[in-house]
Amino acid sequence: MLLAAFALFAAACEKKTQPAPSGEGTQGGQAAQPATTGGTPGGSDTILLGEVGSLTGAQATFGVSTRNGIELALKEANAAGGVKGKKLAVRVYDDQGKPEEAAQAVTRLITQDKVVLILGEVASSNSLAMAEKAQAAGVPMITPSSTNPKVTEKGEYIFRVCFIDPFQGAVMARFARENLKADQVAILQDNKSAYSIGLTEVFQRTFAQLGGKVTATESYSQGDTDFRAQLTAIKKAKPQAIYVPGYYSDVGVIARQARELGLTVPLMGGDGWDSEKLFELAGNALVGSYFSNHYSPDNPDPKTQKFIADYKAAYGGVPDALAALGYDAAKVAIAAIEKAKDLSGPAIREAIAQTKDFPGVAGTVSLDKNRNAVKSAVILKVGDGKTEFVTTINP
Amino acid sequence: MAELLQHLINGIAAGTIYALVALGYTMVYGVLKLINFAHGDVMMVGVYMGYATALALGRQAQSSAWGVLLIFLVAMGGCALMGFLIERFAYRPLREKPRLTALITAIGISFALSYGFQLDAFELKFRGLTLPIPLPGAAPRAFPQIIKPAAWFTLGDPEFPDVVLWNWQIISLLVAVGMMVALQYLVYRTRFGRAMRAVSFDHRVAALMGIPTDRIISLTFMIGSALAAGAGLLYAIKDTSVSPLMGLMVGLKAFVAAVIGGIGNVPGAVVGALLLGLVEEFVVGYAASTWRDAVAFGFLILVLLVRPGGLFGRVAAEKV
């Protein structure tokens, strides 16, 4: 019976969207093979990069998308002859979405694998844990998509190629006030994530400055599945919109339960919503809701469209923002390694810090003196099974 | 006022799920004096079995009466078998060992299941044979609406109601109370139940009296696991999301509920669970949502301070 049920499961299971690429990460932080064959890691003909991501765990699509983007960038660089006459390879460790695993993985990348540069993570809580170790060891780290400001504050070796939470939170507050004309909003934040708390703070402040009022602030813990108590309390506050700066894995369920309780106002969120899974989890409960993001697949820029086509060919499916940022982060890293006078930590760090007007697929990357990228954000509207581009908001 | 009523409905609905999970917990404890920490994860496996069955049935069949029955049968049957295997191969060899050994094993099984299920499906190749291992992977999935949601009671504007009571909330509560009555009957009114109580009292003496202790314990585990699967499906219908880690927190909360009610006591588990659900709901609704888990576990400590055996439990003097 058990086996029969499992067999049914296999038959019924939707086809995995991503075919296993060569740099497949494995469970439990086990080492994966470098993405390119030939050459020992750290040997004379290979430059080894490190990557940490949540390949399993509740936010698994974050890690997998990022890995695909990075892999694509490396493949292109290697096809074009590599960097400094050497091939590039990446060593990927899975952190299961946990900060302590992420920190451990970084230590292993630095001491055991002797990587020249580290890429990762998506979740700010994990990047914070990693940044500590990378900074202490003097190994440059680029996070593709952690938006919490504290990440790059860890030190001069930590960079990012995305905007930061204050910007993202402010963008949404402005959109709610000016485009949605909302006077009263409620907030439902994820108490377990630095990302969600950071967005909430800025949103609250900006929205108040613009003359709006936050009538209720409730919180939940990542992984909860019953949000009815919070939503009932929010309902009493009669908001015109609800800001839910959480991750897609929770937001879908929140949206369904909000509708179930008769809360019909639009929800608003940040880039944590960005996943194909969101539509499955939310059903049609999120139709008409908005979130801020790093990029939109509808962007007509030929660079972006080429990336989308290449990504589709390699992995199937439209790349989400995390794949795009993973790709950009790897590109910035490769360009910096090419420019650096040698492969030492300080030399590469110096080269990354000078990144200016770098043409990324998710917007042009210029790093400011705090090592954060200055770039615009897009607002997307959730439709039936897809997102629609609404507007771009500049810094 | 409307808000209070909605909180009441939410709290009872949440407590109902804890109650269903707690029933299995408390029954296994009652017989074996083993806290089966893997109970919540057996529940999770049951939900995935039901999910797979629902997908195989397709959109039409899964919400028909027979479809729902089949989903429950497959999940509960599958879990009963799994419960049997876990007991036979993990707990039985440890029965004469110190109790702590079995407890640690239970925690081990719990983690093996919840993390094993986060792996993606793969194929096992062995001597030219290929065996597909269908694991679901870590990403949460939406559980299909096998019971079509219908609002059975609304207050205020029916389009945007102030208070809503859904059909599945009533169904779950009825199932929970029904299960409680059935279990109580099983334990106190049947030959099997008498044998269970005898094994619980002293399994060596019970064996001397001609009671097939191994079979009784196996059956207890199978019933407990089937109950977990049923509870899990109702949970998935309620919260619409399925993930490999879903069993951990619910299992823990159900355990707390069982202890509050007096672990080993069947009606106690239900009362404890409903209380816990309501306490959580009102903490979030009227105090602060951040306090929910702290208050839930604090409530446990408070109850145990006042009544060390739980609300319905008896504190038996240790035989020396």
Spell A191-213 as b/e; 16+ CB within 10 A means b. Answer: bbbbbbbbbbebbbebbeeeebe
Amino acid identity, position A236: K
Strand ranges in chain B using DSSP code E only, listed in sequence order: 120-126, 129-136, 141-142, 151-155, 163-166, 241-242
| Continuous segment of H or E residues that includes residue A190 | strand A184-190
Count the Cβ atoms, other than its own, within 10 Å of residue B195: 21
Closest approach of chain A CAs to the CA of B10, in angstroms? Answer: 6
From chain A, the residues in CB contact with B241 under 8 A are: 225, 249, 252-253, 281
From chain A, the residues in CB contact with B137 under 8 A are: 16, 56, 60
Closest CA to A372 of A352, A393, A345: A352
From chain A, the residues in CB contact with B290 under 8 A are: 191, 219
Count the Cβ atoms, other than its own, within 10 Å of residue B116: 15
Asked if B74 is an interface residue toward chain A (Cβ–Cβ < 8 A), one would say yes
Strand partners, A89: A48
First-to-final CA distance of chain B:
55
Closest approach of chain A CAs to the CA of B314, in angstroms? Answer: 33
What's residue A7's pLDDT?
46
| Rounded distance between C-alpha atoms, residue A295 and residue A320, angstroms | 8
Closest approach of chain A CAs to the CA of B252, in angstroms? Answer: 13
| Rounded distance between C-alpha atoms, residue A116 and residue A50, angstroms | 8
Name, in order, each residue with C-beta under 8 angstroms of B2's C-beta and a sequence gap of 6 or more: B155, B156, B162, B163
Beta strand pairing call for A141-143 and A158-160 = parallel
| Rounded distance between C-alpha atoms, residue B274 and residue B264, angstroms | 17
From chain A, the residues in CB contact with B294 under 8 A are: none
Residue among A58, A191, A230 minimizing CB distance to B140 = A58
Contact residues, B window 128-187, toward A, CB-based 8 Å cutoff: 132, 134, 136-142, 149, 160-162, 164, 166
- What tens digit of pLDDT does each residue of B95-149 get? 888 888 999 999 999 999 999 998 888 888 888 788 888 888 888 889 998 888 8
Q: Contact, A252 vs A281, CB < 8 A?
A: yes
**Yes or no, beta carbons of A232 and B14 under 8 Å apart:** no
**CA separation (Å) from B205 to B33, B192, B197, B208, B264?**
16, 16, 12, 5, 20
Q: How many residues does chain A have?
A: 395
Residue among B14, B120, B140 minimizing CB distance to A16 = B120
Interface pTM, i.e. ipTM: 0.86
**Yes or no, beta carbons of A249 and B139 under 8 Å apart:** yes
Q: Which of A187, A228, A264, A265 to probe by mutation at the B interface, max B CB count within 10 Å?
A: A228
| Rounded distance between C-alpha atoms, residue A192 and residue A173, angstroms | 22
| Rounded distance between C-alpha atoms, residue B204 and residue B140, angstroms | 45
Spell A295-324 as b/e; 16+ CB within 10 A means b. Answer: bbbebeeeebeebbebbeeebeeebbbbbb
| Rounded distance between C-alpha atoms, residue B138 and residue B242, angstroms | 10
Name, in order, each residue with C-beta under 8 angstroms of A161's C-beta and a sequence gap of 6 or more: A142, A143, A144, A325, A328, A329, A332, A360, A362, A365, A373
Strand ranges in A209-318 using DSSP code E only, listed in sequence order: 213-220, 241-243, 267-269, 290-293
Q: Which residue of A has its CA nearest to B159?
A: A262
Q: What is the pTM of this model?
A: 0.79
Q: Which residue of A has its CA nearest to B5?
A: A232
Q: Which of B9, B21, B86, B120 to probe by mutation at the A interface, max A CB count within 10 Å?
A: B120
**Yes or no, beta carbons of B74 and A249 under 8 Å apart:** no
Mean pLDDT of the B165-175 span: 91
**Yes or no, beta carbons of B136 and A233 under 8 Å apart:** no
| Rounded distance between C-alpha atoms, residue A110 and residue A104, angstroms | 10
- What tens digit of pLDDT does each residue of B15-65 get? 999 999 999 989 888 888 888 999 999 999 999 999 999 999 988 888 888
From chain A, the residues in CB contact with B280 under 8 A are: 229
Give the position of tokens 């954060």.
A372
Q: Contact, A122 vs A59, CB < 8 A?
A: yes
Residue among B14, B120, B136 minimizing CB distance to A226 = B14
Q: For helices A321-339 and A302-315, give the axis angle rounded to 10 degrees.
A: 110
**Yes or no, beta carbons of A56 and B119 under 8 Å apart:** yes
Q: Contact, A378 vs A294, CB < 8 A?
A: yes
- What tens digit of pLDDT does each residue of B145-165 get? 888 888 888 887 777 788 889
- What tens digit of pLDDT does each residue of A100-141 get? 999 999 999 999 999 999 998 999 999 999 999 999 999 999
Beta strand pairing call for A118-119 and A46-53 = parallel
Beta strand pairing call for A141-143 and A118-119 = parallel
- What tens digit of pLDDT does each residue of B261-301 get? 988 889 999 999 999 999 999 999 888 888 888 888 898 89
Residue among B55, B78, B138 minimizing CB distance to A2 = B78
Asked if B225 is an interface residue toward chain A (Cβ–Cβ < 8 A), one would say no
From chain B, the residues in CB contact with A226 under 8 A are: 10, 14, 238-239
Q: Which of A55, A226, A234, A248 to probe by mutation at the B interface, max B CB count within 10 Å?
A: A226
Q: Contact, A17 vs A23, CB < 8 A?
A: no
Half-sphere exposure of A244 (CA within 13 A, CB side): 29
**Yes or no, beta carbons of A226 and B82 under 8 Å apart:** no
Token representation of residue A237: 């506050």
Beta strand pairing call for A184-190 and A213-220 = parallel
From chain B, the residues in CB contact with A261 under 8 A are: 6, 164
Closest approach of chain B CAs to the CA of A54, in angstroms? Answer: 10
A211: left (phi over 0), alpha (psi -120 to 50) or beta: left
Per-residue pLDDT 10s for chain A (395 aa) are 444 444 444 444 433 333 334 433 344 444 444 444 333 444 568 999 999 999 887 778 889 999 999 999 999 999 998 898 899 999 999 998 899 999 999 999 999 999 999 998 999 999 999 999 999 999 999 999 998 889 999 999 999 999 888 888 999 999 999 999 999 999 999 988 888 998 999 999 999 999 999 999 999 988 888 999 999 999 989 999 999 999 998 999 999 999 999 899 999 999 889 888 888 899 889 999 999 998 888 888 888 899 999 999 999 888 989 999 999 999 999 999 999 999 999 999 999 999 998 988 988 889 999 999 988 888 999 988 888 888 888 77
Half-sphere exposure of A209 (CA within 13 A, CB side): 11
**Yes or no, beta carbons of B241 and A8 under 8 Å apart:** no
Q: Which residue of A has its CA nearest to B42?
A: A2
Q: Which residue of A has its CA nearest to B54?
A: A12
What's residue B315's pLDDT?
63
The values of phi and psi at residue A317, to 5°, are 85, 150
Residue among A226, A232, A260 minimizing CB distance to B285 = A232
Residue among A11, A223, A229 minimizing CB distance to B249 = A223
Asked if B112 is an interface residue toward chain A (Cβ–Cβ < 8 A), one would say no
**Yes or no, beta carbons of B138 and A58 under 8 Å apart:** yes
